[in-house]
Amino acid sequence: MVEVHLKTIAIGGEPVKKTSTYLAVATAVALATGGCGNTESLGPGSERDPAPQRESASVAAPEEAQEEAAEELEADEAEASDEEWRFVEEFAEPFVWEEGGVRLSVTGIGITDATSPEVPAEVSELLGEETQAVVVLEMTASNDTGQVVNFFPGQGSIQLLREQVDAELFLSDSIAGNDWRDGVDGDGQVFWSLQNTPFKEAVEAGELTFVAGGASSQEFATITDDVEITVTWG
């Protein structure tokens, strides 16, 4: 489950199945629990009349059933609320780019309504009032080039509908980076703020294009072409 792996500042995100998989399900109270407690109070030779005991159990069961129903309703309401301001999906098959021994995979996506009251105030201030939605991509990378390279997918951009934005570097992981050694794997999350695309439109778009510079050698000689990955969801 990716809930925590899509950073908390990612606005509640946990990378990727629908958001309902990240909600805690209330544990139902077993009906036998109350009965066990009452039974323990009745030892051998107890003078308590068994009739009131049966009445107590018959009253307790409906009360516990009502509590269980209330917990399930609360969980359902929380799920519905969550779906109104956050979308998360983990891809069964990642979207992969590979060239010259460098491999980059997009394994999940999160989209958050930056205008939702569910977003912490300090995060809203950090993003700015103009931000409509935040997109997060979960990525993994590997270097099997046989050499040390420079590769910065955490500085890439996305195009979603008619908006193109650069990554939020202060929120994003580098994934790979400078002097990325051969045989090393990397992973992390990259964030983008959408200022012209509301949350609902972003989710319904169902597609974006991720672009980043290709890998280079320590002498900055080109090893791969630029990265371009089309990511789809829904």
- Contacts of residue 192, defined as CB under 8 A and 6 or more positions apart, other chains included, come to 134, 135, 136, 157, 158, 165, 166, 167, 168
Q: How confident is the model at residue 188 (pLDDT cuts 50, 70, 90)?
A: very high
CATH, domain 86-232, list 2.60.40.1150, 2.102.10.10, 2.170.190.11, 3.40.50.2300: 2.60.40.1150
| 27 C-beta neighbours (distance < 10 Å), count | 8
Q: For the residues 152-168, what does the mean pLDDT come to? A: 98
| 186 C-beta neighbours (distance < 10 Å), count | 19
Query: Residue 220 gets which letter from DSSP?
Result: -
Residue with tokens 């036998």: 32
pTM: 0.67
| 136 C-beta neighbours (distance < 10 Å), count | 24
Residue with tokens 């955490």: 154
- Contacts of residue 108, defined as CB under 8 A and 6 or more positions apart, other chains included, come to 2, 6, 15, 16, 88, 89, 90, 91, 137, 138
At 17-58, the pLDDT tens digits run 333 222 222 212 121 223 333 333 323 343 434 444 444 444
- Domain locations in the chain? 20-83, 86-232
At 39-48, the pLDDT tens digits run 333 233 434 3
